Every structure is written in structure tokens, then in C-alpha cells.
Amino acid sequence: MTRSFEYLRPDSIEEAVAMKAEYGDRARFWAGGTDMMLLFKRKKLDLDFCIDLSHIADLRYIDEEDGALRIGAMATLDDLDRASGINAATAALGETSRMMCTKQSRTIATVGGNMCHASPSADLSPPLTALGAQAVIQGPSGERSLPLEQFHKGVNQTDLGDGELLKEIFIPKASGRIAASYNRVARTVVDIALVSSAVCLRLDDGDNIESAGVALGAVAPNVVRVSGAEGVLSGATLEQAANGLAQKAGAESASAARAISDIRASKEYRTDMTAVLTARGVQKCVENLKGLS
């Protein structure tokens, strides 16, 4: 039997942060509850206070400001899907969200919950990391930001301190055109990823790749950023990326993967698939960017 706890319902970010600061690790935030429910069922939750964030309107938004994107922590996966038309980043994130959960769950599961549960297979982590996203954290003494790859500290571990809340995900403006693509392997359409890869290509004013982001999911406790693949693609033309460099970026991904074996897939399978998925991601980005020229 689950033991009882006190349910708290703050109306503002400040109130939620004050509650968490007061109760510390005796309290947990509740966003959409899709991961929390599983923890309850598996009796992995031991808490005295549950702080429901769902009544804080100031946490649910997806806004573009001067080319930068702000995604409130309580934006749902369905909100992400419906925001697909804003720009190239939301197009890739919307496509990713449609791979996740079921339509019903997507209406309650949140972006913040996906980031804060910090599962190695969380589908939004690789594309957000490849897009250069920052985690914006609100604590009792103010706001701070850090790159998403530093926010994730290990399996179900984040950089959040007691009394801190993830407020938003911030994606900085890219100087030129961008394209992003997320690819994953899962056993069924509603299953979590066995292995995944995200690619983001940013062009300069012409058709050269100014910079690239490549991030792998479900191969290690945290998302693996593949600087070798990013280096291979940066400075190349779209033609070079499509003809040979996509495979090179894939090979760099395989050597950076540090894949693990578990009940769901072997290290060898995961490593091989990082190469395939990264090459596929580069090709898709090139096609999208050529379509924009």
C-alpha cells in the first residue's frame, strides 16, 4: 500500500520554490505525473509533500523572441507538437514529441518532467542538447542558467538543488538557417528509445555549415555530445555533408558512444546504430536545408 502524503497546490513559481525550499527532499514536484505515477506504482517514491505545478500558468508557454525560443517547463508534449510551425527547432521538437508516449499522455506529460526525470532514454534530451539548449532554473535566491548537458548529472539525477525548480528551456537564436533531426530505434511506437541520435546543422549566410550539434541518447547515463562529429561537419558545404561526411559523422558517433549493454539492447547493437542514426540525421538536415535554399 502507498503511504499518504500532503498535496500542495501553489499558484505561482515563487510559492512553489518557497514550498520546496521549506520541505527539501521530503517534497517532490508533480508536473504531468506520467513518470511520478510509475514511481508510485513501483513503490520508489518516499515523500511527505507533493507540490502540484499544474496550476502555475506562468510555467506553460512556448514563445519565440528575436529568433530565440523559450519553452516553459509545464509546456506539454502536445503543446510542442502544436508549436511545430514556429521555426526549424520547433519543427524537430514537434516531430520528436509525436514519437513519445500516446496522444492522451502527451496532453499531460511535460517538457520539464521529461528533463527533470533525467532518464537516459528521454527523447527530448538529444534534440534539445544538439540545439544548444540551456536549462533555466529558479531558486529561492534567483535565477540561473546552464547548458542542458551540465543539467543532467546521471540516471535520474540533475543539477537542481533543494528549493530549485526548472523554469524553462531556452534555445538561443542561430545566426543563419538551421535544420534539426531526431532519429531513434524503439521496439514499438509507444516504447522508449533503445538508442537515439539528434543532429542540428546551422548554416552561415551562404550554403556552408557554420556549426553542428550532434547528441546521442540511450547509450550512456547521460546524453553524449559528439564533438568529433560536430568538428567533421563544421565548415563543410551541404554537398560534402551529404556525400561522405554524413558517414564520417556516424563513425565519430560510434566511437564516442560509450554504449552500455542492458536487458533492452547490447552494447554492440547500440554502437552500430548510433552510426546509422547520425548519418541519417545529417542526410535529413541537408535535405531540409536544400529545400529552404
Ligand X SMILES: Cc1cc2nc3c(=O)[nH]c(=O)nc-3n(C[C@H](O)[C@H](O)[C@H](O)COP(=O)(O)OP(=O)(O)OC[C@H]3O[C@@H](n4cnc5c(N)ncnc54)[C@H](O)[C@@H]3O)c2cc1C
Q: Which of 146, 222, 131 is nearest to 181 (CA)?
A: 131
The cell numbers describing 37, all together, are 505515477
How many Å apart are CA 69 and CA 178, to the nearest integer?
13
Q: Which is nearer to ligand X, 71 or 199 (CB)?
A: 71
124 vs 121: CA distance, rounded Å: 9
The binder of ligand X chosen from 21, 33, 52, 86 (CB under 6 A): 33
Confirm or reject binding of residue 28 to ligand X (CB under 6 A). yes
Q: Give the per-residue contact string, 102-121, with ligand X (x = CB under 6 A; - = no).
A: ---x---xx-xxx-xx----
Give yes or no for residue 222 binding ligand X (CB under 6 A): no
- Grid coordinates given for 32: 504531468
The answer to whether 73 contacts ligand X (rule: CB under 6 A) is yes
In the window 149-208, what residues touch ligand X (CB under 6 A)?
A: 160, 165-166, 190, 192
Residues within window 231-290 making contact with ligand X, judged by CB under 6 A: none
What's the maximum distance between 2 C-alpha atoms anywhere in the chain?
62
Minimum CB distance to ligand X, residue 97 (Å): 9
Cα angle value 215/97/195 (rounded, 5°): 40
Q: In what helix (H) or strand (E) does residue 263 lie, and over which residues does it extend? A: none
- Specify the residue, 81 or 123, whose C-beta has the smaller distance to ligand X: 123
32 binds ligand X (CB under 6 A): yes
C-alpha closest to that of 70 among 95, 55, 92, 89: 89
Binding site for ligand X (CB under 6 A): 28-36, 38, 53, 73, 100-101, 105, 109-110, 112-114, 116-117, 122-123, 160, 165-166, 190, 192
